[in-house]
Amino acid sequence: MGANHINLHQLRLTPHNYAKLAARKYTYSHGLKVTVLDSELAALEVLRWNFAEQINFPINYCSFQFKNQFQTLAGRMRSAKYIINSYEALTQTGLIRTLSAIGTVAQMLSLRENFKLAKIDTDLYFFVSKEKLFFHPTVSKFVSLFSLIVSVQYHSSSTKQGVNYHYPFVDVLINKRKIFVEKATVTQLIVLEAENVLKFMDLIRFGFLAKIENAVQNTKLQQSFADIQDLARFEVLEYGVQEIM
């Protein structure tokens, strides 16, 4: 029969396989979960051999770090549609990004008027009070015209069989079953420095990953984005293998 390709997966240490793996004296990496370093080294050696010998056989290596991100992403994407607000947006990691701005009553009145004149869809912003609003990234150019205090916060959506009332939730009917979709807080409110607001808006509107990658190659850009580069982990998926800890 033969094989058309091979998928190699990194081993994890779990309560179910601990007894058998512990007897093999493997080396373990401690990250989000405990993984078997030896399994990753073996997979990379197979890839190296395949390349060195020019066999060109299709081999895919799926590290836990990579697989876990996409499994988590898939779950977030499925549930987010039930609880995300129209003025919020999903990041590449499947997190819900909430942008907010605080200003004076006069500033907010002017901003509201600008929205009306530009015929901005009212679903893309929401005035919580006379001094605060939530807004979608697509209208950030209007918000940036005013000296407002801009903040960002990230949330994670997930399905639950029951609720603990710690976070906002909605109940939905899926396949004739009632389940709950919860919106958990991932970060507290992160206030952006005034000089970083436009940079951040530029990143999320025109490609966070591309800008960060360019910054790594360019010292001047790297200094420019240094203050907000930490937010990349909420915005884009991480690639490569797990760092050994």
The answer to whether residues 84 and 180 belong to one domain is yes
* Residue 213 to residue 217: CA distance in whole angstroms: 7
pTM (two decimals)? 0.73
DSSP H or E segment with residue 233 = helix 232-235
Structural domain includes residue 203: yes
Domain interval for residue 226: 194-236
Task: Kindly report, residue by residue over 106-117, the tens digit of the pLDDT.
Answer: 999 999 999 999
Structural domain includes residue 68: no
Task: Kindly report, residue by residue over 74-86, the tens digit of the pLDDT.
Answer: 889 999 999 999 9
The answer to whether residues 114 and 185 belong to one domain is yes
Task: Kindly report, residue by residue over 158-200, the tens digit of the pLDDT.
Answer: 998 888 888 999 999 878 889 999 999 999 999 988 888 887 8
Share above pLDDT 70 across residues of the chain, in percent, rounded to a whole number? 87
In this prediction, residue 221 carries a pLDDT of 44
The answer to whether residues 116 and 210 belong to one domain is no
Query: HEC profile for 54-81?
Result: CCCCCEEEECHHHHHHHHHHHHHHHHHC
Q: Is the pLDDT of residue 220 over 50?
A: no
Place of tokens 């801009």: 150
Q: Is the pLDDT of residue 152 over 50?
A: yes
The answer to whether residues 203 and 187 belong to one domain is no
The answer to whether residues 163 and 113 belong to one domain is yes
The answer to whether residues 163 and 199 belong to one domain is no
Question: Do the Cβ atoms of 71 and 158 come closer than 8 Å?
Answer: no
Reduce the DSSP state of residue 212 to 3 states and report it: helix
* Residue 45 to residue 147: CA distance in whole angstroms: 55
**Domains in the chain, number:** 3
In this prediction, residue 216 carries a pLDDT of 47
* Residue 31 to residue 61: CA distance in whole angstroms: 19
- What average pLDDT does range 16-41 have in this prediction? 86
The answer to whether residues 163 and 100 belong to one domain is yes
Q: Is the pLDDT of residue 21 over 80?
A: yes
**CB atoms inside a 10 Å sphere around CB 148:** 22
The answer to whether residues 48 and 147 belong to one domain is no
